Structure 1
Amino acid sequence: MAHILLTGGSRGIGAAIADRLRDAHTLAVQSTGGDLPADFADPAAPADLWRRALDRLDGRIDVLINNAGVFEANPIDQSDDDWVAGWERTLRINLTAAAELSRLGVRHWQEQGLPGRIVNIASRAAHRGDSPAHWHYAAAKGGMVAMTKTIARAYARDRILAFAICPGFTMTGMAEDYVASRGGDKLLADIPLGRVAMPDEVAVMAAFCATDAPESMTGAVLDVNGASYVR
């Protein structure tokens, strides 16, 4: 039985990932927002979460899925202090917390002599950028992709694998509000598929990377965006 720590598992993409993994009946999944709450705006939260997850999962974590994140507007006409605070909050929650958990995972697997997997839920914004009010979000997700590649290259010989998934707009409550705020049909016209992704579609990819992806795929960055950005 694989022991999996999933962050941001209470809603949207995270909830879909948790459901798909639990449906496999071979996995023990602990997720933030539900049975292991954590506020990643608090710098102490990642290490505290890791300790509690290890306790809950009998001292072993096989897979880390970094999904927790925020998508908050940060327009450039805010005050200097507010704009910088928006950057620091988004980077702390979306990137630094994931980096801290990834580091703890790598060290755990190295110390135990075990293989491990990290799956990072990034974004299409990592490649094509985002709106003028979301510089910080795009930067955080770009950093997550770069971090994934670095981990994959650095620790493959230890059988520590890393993957990144880059969804475009996904039909979560957050995405519904944003699609409506940006004109709805006009935004959808930028997606050749004609619709945003469903959380289950992203969950399929995350579960595959977490459990079944071949080792030689380590470092892969997988797009789920309806061909709205192709590389």
Structure 2
Amino acid sequence: MTNILLTGASRGIGAAILAALSPAARIVGQATRAENGLIAADLDQPGAAADLWHEAVARLGSVDVLINNAGVFEANPIEDDDEAWRAAWDRTMRINLTASAELCRLAVLDWQRRGVPGRIVNVASRAAYRGDSPAHWHYAASKAGVVAMTKTIARAYAKHGILAFVICPGFTMTGMADDYLASRGGDKLLADIPLGRVAMPEEVAEMARWLALDAPASMTGAVLDVNGASYVR
């Protein structure tokens, strides 16, 4: 059975991914606080990603698939004072990009050392390509970094059987998306989605399940959009 480390597993898309994969894999999930068997790891803290990796290996014996889903979506208006703006920028980069990069690095090094294949599935965002609101420069930049990093991993390590994929959801019906829709005028935002609704967590989870277990190797480096045609490339 496939062993999987999944970050951001406590709610929203992460909880849906956990449910979708549970029948077919052994999964260790991460959350900021320990609950329901999840590993507690505050990815805003130095060393947390490495500690998480080593704890996952201790629990599972080995990790075959890494799914980076943890992330934050917090406003950072440019009108804030310099120190507050930099702090918010740094926090989002640490959680959304740096922690994912640390885990990807540890996974690749482990798979290379053991001479085994592996898969990475990174959850980014439509914002990586389309951008986001004026208060979310940092969020869009962090997700663009995730996309570029994943493509680089795919190109560099395919010869070792290490595959990497990205999912770019648009608005998804999670608490985070609900709050944003309400704050920005839900009807106006929905009018920008040709499908007429936001994605459901289960739809994104099905993409993650398929990439983790079934997607053909030749798809490595692919970016899958789940945004109701609100942004097409």
Normalised-by-shorter TM-score class:
over 0.9
Q: 2:11 maps to which residue?
A: 11
| 1:26 Cα deviation from its structure 2 partner | 2.8
Q: Deviations over 1:138-175 (max 9, x none)?
A: 00000000000000000000000000000000000110
Gaps of 5+ in 1: none
Q: 2:196 aligns with which of 185, 194, 197?
A: 194
Aligned residues: 228
* 2:56 maps to 1:53: yes
Distance 1:98 1:105 in 2: 10
- Counterpart residue identity of residue 161, structure 1: L
Q: Percent identity?
A: 71
What is the rounded CA distance, in whole Å, between the counterparts of 1:63 and 1:222 in structure 2?
A: 18
CA distance in 2, matches of 1:76, 1:109: 42
Q: Which of the numbers 37, 40, 45 marks the counterpart of 2:43?
A: 40
Write out the 4+ residue segments of structure 1 that deviate beyond 3 Å after TM superposition: none
The secondary structure found in structure 2 opposite 1:164 is: strand
- Distance in structure 1 (CA, Å) of the matches to 2:40 and 2:24: 23
Match of 2:79 in 1: 77
Q: For 1:141-220, what aligned pairs fall within 5 Å after superposition?
A: 141-220=143-222
Which residue identity is paired with 1:121?
A: V
The aligned counterpart of 2:27 is: 29
Cα distance in 1 for partners of 2:103, 2:86 equals 24
AA matched with 2:5: L
Q: Which letter maps to 1:26?
A: A
* AA matched with 1:69: G
Equivalent residue runs for 1:108-123 within 5 Å: 108-123=110-125
Query: Take 2:169 and 2:24, find their aligned partners in 1: how far apart are those partners?
Result: 26
Which residue is 2:134 aligned to?
Answer: 132
Matched to 1:65, the amino acid is I
How much does 1:37 deviate? Answer: 1.2
Displacement of 1:43 = 1.3
Distance 1:196 1:184 in 2: 10
Alpha-carbon distance between aligned partners in 2 of 1:122 and 1:93, rounded to the nearest angstrom = 12
Equivalent of 2:228 in 218, 226, 229: 226
The 2-side partners of 1:43 and 1:65 are apart by 20
State how far apart, in whole Å, the 2-side matches of 1:129 and 1:98 are: 20
Residues 21-54 of structure 1 show CA distances to partners (whole Å, capped at 9, x for unaligned) of 00xx331000002421110010110000001000
Task: Tell me the TM-score normalised to structure 1 length.
Answer: 0.98
